[in-house]
Amino acid sequence: MDNIKLLEKVKKQKTKFIIVTGGVCSSLGKGILVSSLGVLLKNSGYTVSVAKWDPYLNVDPGTMSPLVHGEVFVTDDGAETDLDLGHYERILDIRLNKDSSVSSGQIYQEVLNGEREGKYLGKDIQVIPDVINIIKNRLFNFAINHNTDFVLIEIGGTVGDIEGGIFLEAVRQIKIDLDEHKLMHAHLSLVPYLEWAHEIKTKPTQHSVIALKHLGLIPDTLFLRTDYPTTDKIKEKLSIGCGVKKELIFDALTVKNIPEIFVNLNNQDVNTRIQEFFNIKKIKQANLKDWQNLLNIIKSEKKLVNIALVAKYVGNNDPYISIIKALESAGNYNKVKINLEILEAEKLEKLSEKEIKKVFSKIDGIVVPGGFDKRGIEGKILAAKYARENNIPYLGLCLGMQIMLIEFARNILKLKDASSTEFDKNTKNPVICLIEEQKNIKNKGGTMRLGAYKCDLLLGSMAQKIYNKKDILERHRHRYEFNNKYKKEFENKGIIFSGTYKKENLVEISEIKDHKFMIGSQFHPEFLSTFLHPHPLFREFIKVAKE
């Protein structure tokens, strides 16, 4: 459908739009702000949907290094997305799909595919209107398909970046297209405190708003990212300097715990001001009781549980953000505090057995996360061996399950060279290997086993008792699978294959009989764990680890 017809439809529905941009620098927490606004609105009884527009030219982050771009988050429909979608889902307890993850790469790809198909009828293709029209088309379709009270859009990057220009131009046009008070542009910007001058500075924010003005945009509201509460005087100065109403300028205060952000914003009446902006007559208040309860638990004195994450990347935690959040939530659920030690797998490889013992001596539970390629594999195998031999709770996530089975094959089945064909193409014992469909795939992007698959649980197994269900849907992102040729051998020695994707007879969950908790999943349970509803596998893992 063309944009004119779509716009007519959008105008007839109740949906209001909030667009969030960021100024001065990155890492200000736009994703968290978008989620927080969502919490206030959702907890006031409104329906919300969220999307992220990313300025990079990659079609999706699936092929980007987790060290550069953080974790690749996966939705039910198999989209490989930015980690911000994880924030939205975890905080808002909603399920998103591929429509929530838009990149410049996708937009240009759509334009160029159209060009190759002859859709532009001999016309020259231009950024305005052709590229912008694709963005508008995406937004209108998104609003129509979701039909929620509010659509929240986060624009990635920082205002002033050349890449983000197309999205900001789209916002400028949509603001004109829509009736007044149907779209709110919120700008999150840094107001740094200069220690040596004892002063909070407004100039960087003023400049980032000037950058917006150059693009024809004046934000409707400002959120000031600040380590200290700002004053009325500062807000007045920014109101005059930027042309934003003073009552629509709020502090986005740096806090320790995410739920504090919602409480803080609510205390500044953000929720009320937003509803007033949209001319909503019956202003609703947000019920933050569940979050307040969670906050009380987070802040209370709790027993420490030491969890080791045996990782490929150490230093920046973004590659493991969903796992870390799932562990924290499971900790709160079990009323314990998680002390996370991130151990570099590669370093473990150089240690003697005695040194390994020392490293893990105070550890209550071991997590081996997902990962690709060979680096650190042997270190992860050592960690799995330690967990198995010492009855330490072990949770293997995707690669972590493969590692658990390779270790078992080597040390219990005595298949000394057992491996995955991902790490050793010529191994005589490929206990993990590619299934036929994956063998001929050449392109890297979007070609793995991705998204939600049904998994049948084995009655009476530990996994089945934990989930307390017959079957489950869990999200995947991998190429390699357990090799069923070895199934009997494993079972004879004490492995229980407790979850199966029946349609293709693929192993989804493995556990070790007579172990406190040694479970591996071929899927990623961390993607379905939320702040208020931690995932059952994480919940139980921490429960056993704390005992």
Residues acting as catalytic residues:
398, 524, 526
- Cβ(75)–Cβ(451) below 8 Å: yes
Residue whose token pair is 């594999």: 377
Q: Which is nearer to ligand GLN, 361 or 440 (CB)?
A: 440
Helix, strand, coil percent content, the chain, rounded in steps of 5: 45, 20, 35
> Per residue, what are the HEC states of 487-530?
HHHHHHCCEEEEEEEHHHCEEEEEEECCCCCEEEECCCHHHHCC
Q: Which is nearer to ligand GLN, 23 or 396 (CB)?
A: 396
Q: How far is the CB of 373 from ligand GLN (least distance, A)?
A: 7
DSSP 28-46: S-HHHHHHHHHHHHHTTT-
User: How far is it, in rounded angstroms, from Cα 538 to Cα 323?
Assistant: 9
Question: Which residues lie near ligand GLN (CB under 6 A)?
Answer: 370-372, 398-399, 422, 477-480
Residue number closest to ligand GLN, CB atom: 370
**Burial annotation 312-337 (CB, 10 A radius, 16+ → b, else e):** bbbeebebbbbbbbbbbbbbbbbebe
Those residues whose C-beta lies under 8 Å from the C-beta of residue 528, and which sit 6 or more positions away, are 474, 475, 535
- Cβ(369)–Cβ(305) below 8 Å: no
Q: Which is nearer to ligand GLN, 333 or 523 (CB)?
A: 523
Q: 239: which 2 tokens?
A: 């109101």
Q: How many Cβ atoms are within 10 Å of 490's Cβ, its own excluded?
A: 23
Q: How far is the CB of 452 from ligand GLN (least distance, A)?
A: 15
Q: How far is the CB of 477 from ligand GLN (least distance, A)?
A: 5
Q: Which is nearer to ligand GLN, 331 or 370 (CB)?
A: 370
Q: How many Cβ atoms are within 10 Å of 442's Cβ, its own excluded?
A: 5
Which stretch of DSSP H or E encloses residue 152? strand 150-155
Q: How far is the CB of 399 from ligand GLN (least distance, A)?
A: 3
Strands (E), 313-364: 336-344
Q: How far is the CB of 464 from ligand GLN (least distance, A)?
A: 23
Q: Which is nearer to ligand GLN, 297 or 342 (CB)?
A: 342
Q: Which is nearer to ligand GLN, 319 or 371 (CB)?
A: 371
Q: How far is the CB of 359 from ligand GLN (least distance, A)?
A: 23
